Amino acid sequence: MENAPISTHPIRLRVNGRDVMVDAAAQTPLLYILRNDLELNGPKFGCGLGECGACAVLIGDRAARSCTVPLSAVGDRAVTTLEGLGDIDNPHPVQQAFIAHNAAQCGYCLNGMIIATVALLRRNPRPTETEIRAALRHHLCRCGTHLEILSAVRAAAMLSAASASNSSGDDP
């Protein structure tokens, strides 16, 4: 017996500031559309089970594991991938911190580490060490680059705290 064909239909997404239309089944994982249809390869396929964090993206201001988010759950919320944060000529401050602290070996986990850090600093511009570790604890790195990654996140957090102080008019 043949399997019933999967029905697809046009779905609108807002990705990295652009509206895009994709033709897909509503249950398709967001990660598949980002990588295969939109050629955004910042988010990585690691476990495919929501456990490693390699596929993280921002949905609104929150980090989400795009391998477990069906298209139907995205709705009108803006999706931001690593590519939407910055580029090689104009990197996001968190990306700059990761470069400055040599926080990469194979680089596979970096997408998730950076997305998680951006989400953390958006909701909490002055995270404590405990809060930083809690935000990253479910992002797996198999190379053992944890010390450099933590240094980069601390540096990004210092910049974020300074920026929050400047915009709130706090004393220096």
Interface contacts to ligand FES, rule CB under 6 A: 45-48, 50-55, 65, 67
CB of 131 to ligand FES, least distance (A): 21
Rounded alpha-carbon distances, angstroms, from residue 32 to 7, 52, 149: 16, 16, 27
CB of 164 to ligand FES, least distance (A): 30
Instruction: State the Cα angle at 147 between 47 and 131, rounded to 5°.
Output: 75
CB of 53 to ligand FES, least distance (A): 5
Cβ closest to ligand FES, residue 48 vs residue 107:
48
- The residues with which 21 forms a beta bridge, in sequence order, are 12
User: What is the DSSP track for 63-104?
Assistant: EEEGGG-BGGGTTTPEEE-HHHH--SSS--HHHHHHHHTT--
Q: Which residue type, as a one-letter code, is found at position 65?
A: R
Cβ closest to ligand FES, residue 50 vs residue 107:
50
CB of 85 to ligand FES, least distance (A): 18
CB of 64 to ligand FES, least distance (A): 10
- The residues with which 44 forms a beta bridge, in sequence order, are none
Cβ closest to ligand FES, residue 52 vs residue 79:
52
Cβ closest to ligand FES, residue 43 vs residue 127:
43
Give me the sign of the Cα torsion angle 113, 62, 48, 15.
Answer: negative
